[in-house]
């Protein structure tokens, strides 16, 4: 790939109000899309933007226990409902990116992935590769998908971006949420997490402060740490602070928690 490929996640906690079902933070999403466009105008970069589901699919995913698989007679209905709820937010994100001037194309994970125990095993990427090569921004998202062992599961945006980074050879993942990064018990920012200090900092890291069926901060950090073994560096930043996403995309040093080997 000619330009550096960057993977950006817009957290569900950032673009929605996770405490109110189906509530978009429209002003935040608008600003983020503008920052993304401005960064790409300043510097050539290939980009995949993934986003979390926030208060769109998390409510139905919790109701139908989709993460646990086919657990009862309503599980298949649950899968359909969760996919539909996740797609509703995706349409809004893609629409806002287009309004900002970016040629964004929705990628529906439930239509292209199969997982085994929550890990993606099957996903042919020819379409995404060509989409990027032709200058578009693919926009996948946390979704409900079919799972070989359990029937169904929720695949997190982190799992999706992790799979894509390994398969496409990306070296940088930016995770934007509503907190400054990983904080210790006193609320101070932990600048870096690596294999050496993880055991120590782990005791400060918990799930989410809202409905998040994919594990919140601790799962996020564990997944990024496992990607670090493949030479992939990630940073968790606060997307509510104007300019941070833009500067992170441009490769500038920004406040946040870096996760590296
Ligand atoms: N040590 C920690 N530092 C920062 N946030 C933490 C920590 N432990 C738990 N959290 C919670 O994890 C959340 C981030 O995870 P999550 O809600 O899944 O975000 P997203 O929707 O962006 O994936 C934070 O907003 C915070 O509520
Ligand atoms: Mg999450």
Q: Is the CB of 212 under 6 A from ligand 1?
A: yes
pLDDT at 210: 82
Please report the pLDDT score of residue 215 as a whole number: 86
Q: Are 36 and 246 a contacting pair, CB within 8 Å?
A: yes
Nearest CA to ligand 1 atom 14: 217
| pLDDT per position as a tens digit, 93-150 | 999 999 999 999 999 999 999 999 999 999 999 999 999 999 999 999 999 999 999 9
CA distance 239 to 83: 25
| Span 151-173, pLDDT tens digits | 999 999 999 999 999 999 999 99
Confidence check: pLDDT of 67 > 80: yes
pLDDT at 209: 86
Q: Give me the residue label for tokens 């995770």.
A: 175
Question: 237 pairs with which residues across the strands?
Answer: 176
Q: Is the pLDDT confidence value at 175 over 70?
A: yes
- Ligand 2 center to 134 CA (angstroms): 30
Q: How far is the CA of 230 from the centre of ligand 2 (A)?
A: 22
User: Which atom of ligand 1 lies nearest, measured to the CA of 54?
Assistant: 21
Ligand positioned closest to the Cα atom of 19: 1
**Residue 45 pLDDT more than 70?**
yes
- Is any atom of ligand 1 closer than 6 Å to the C-beta of 219? no
> pLDDT value at position 2?
63
Q: Which among 78, 111, 104 has a CA at the least distance from the CA of 90?
A: 104
pLDDT at 203 over 70: yes
Q: Give CA–CA dist 218/56, Å, rounded.
A: 21
Tokens of 183: 């904080």
pLDDT mean over 206-214: 84
- Residue 214 confidence (pLDDT): 86
**Nearest in space to 49 (alpha carbons), one of 111, 153, 131:** 131
d(CA 240, CA 29): 10
Strand pairing partners for 216? none
Which residues 6+ apart lie within 8 Å of 187 measured at CB?
A: none
Closest Cα partner for 104 from 168, 29, 181? 29
Residue 1 pLDDT > 60, yes or no?
Answer: no
Average pLDDT of the chain, as a whole number: 96
pLDDT at 204 over 80: yes
pTM, to two decimals: 0.97
Neighbours of 258 (CB within 10 A): 20
Q: Is 179 in the pocket of ligand 1 (CB under 6 A)?
A: yes
Query: Which residue's CA is minimally distant from atom 23 of ligand 1?
Result: 11
Stretch 81-104: mean pLDDT, rounded? 98
């Amino acid at each position: 790939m000619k330009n550096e490929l960057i993977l950006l996640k817009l957290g569900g906690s950032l673009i929605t109000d996770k405490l109110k079902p189906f509530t978009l933070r429209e002003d935040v999403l608008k600003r983020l899309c503008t920052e993304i466009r401005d960064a790409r105008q300043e510097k050539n970069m290939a980009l995949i933007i993934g986003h979390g589901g926030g208060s769109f699919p998390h409510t139905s995913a919790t109701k139908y226990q989709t993460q646990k698989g086919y657990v009862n007679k309503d599980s298949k209905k649950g899968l359909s409902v969760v996919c539909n709820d996740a797609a509703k937010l995706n349409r809004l994100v893609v629409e806002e990116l287009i309004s900002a001037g970016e040629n964004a194309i929705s990628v529906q994970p439930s239509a292209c992935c199969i997982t085994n125990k929550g890990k993606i095993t099957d996903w042919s990427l020819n379409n995404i590769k060509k989409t990027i090569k032709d200058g578009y921004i693919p926009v996948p998202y946390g979704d409900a998908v079919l799972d070989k062992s359990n029937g169904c599961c929720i695949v997190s945006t982190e799992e999706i971006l992790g799979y894509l980074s390994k398969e496409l050879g990306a070296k940088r993942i930016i995770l934007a949420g509503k907190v400054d990064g990983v904080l210790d018990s006193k609320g101070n920012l932990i600048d870096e997490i690596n294999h050496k200090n993880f055991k120590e900092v782990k005791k400060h890291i918990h799930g989410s402060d809202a409905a998040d069926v994919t594990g919140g901060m601790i799962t996020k950090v564990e997944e990024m740490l496992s990607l670090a073994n493949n030479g992939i560096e990630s940073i968790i930043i606060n997307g509510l602070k104007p300019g941070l996403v833009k500067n992170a995309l441009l490769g500038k040093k920004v406040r946040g928690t870096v996760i590296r080997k």
